Amino acid sequence: MPAASLVLFARTPVLGAVKTRLCPPLTPDGALALYVGFLEDAARVYAGSAQWSPVLAALPEPDDAVLARLFCPPWRRSRQVGPDLGARLVAAFEAERARGAPAVLAVGSDHPALGAALIARAFASLREGCDAAVVPAEDGGYCAIALGNRAEPRLVFGGVPWSTPDVLAATLGRLDGAGLSTRVLEAAYDVDRAEDLDRLRRDLARRDPAGSDFPRATAEALARLDRAEVS
């Protein structure tokens, strides 16, 4: 039986095009270095399971040299397709279903502290009979969403008010309106704004650096940025 699919949504790491809301306090070079750390951690942490097949969905260029280096096999690389996030999610879910995946999960690249254990719980929720599982983001969106084959991606993602605080509520409403069961897991957080950097620092300080899903590349990039700031 084909494995479930984990699809990581990411942007090609281009100077001045990623993590722009972190500038200031970061410079564009610093924001790029931190985002590459996010990607390096995601490539390692989310590839390390026999429960799913990992796929990078990049915008705009999945064959960028940095992405090709980080997302080598077992990763597959693909290009995000569609005019907005909803359309791109639909395309990614439908592509993986066409390959025979019994379940598909999409996860973003903006939350380096989101570990593989919570992703595994989302997939487990589907195996236990739920039609969908969601890892909320504290800003009203979500960090990850998993759908079983009863959930129609066009119904779930079409017409959602993306980039607003209503994303999660609208998505849950669509799932509920279709008679689909959803498990909402504990919330995680994005690293998008200056205050998120302080939260990330506190989070990393509490975690075990030897843990299998500790975001080492992110921690190292953040430490280099902090040292540069005081030097």
**Would you list the domain boundaries of the chain?**
4-230
Is residue 231 over pLDDT 60? no
pLDDT of the residue at 229: 73
E-strand spans in the chain? Answer: 4-11, 52-59, 76-79, 103-108, 132-136, 142-148, 182-184
pLDDT of the residue at 2: 76
* C-alpha–C-alpha distance, residues 111 and 135, integer Å: 11
Contacting residues for 181 by C-beta, under 8 A, at least 6 apart:
129, 130, 131, 132
Average pLDDT of the residues of the chain: 95
pLDDT of the residue at 49: 86
Is residue 160 over pLDDT 80? yes
**4-230 in CATH: which number?**
3.90.550.10
Is residue 80 over pLDDT 80? yes
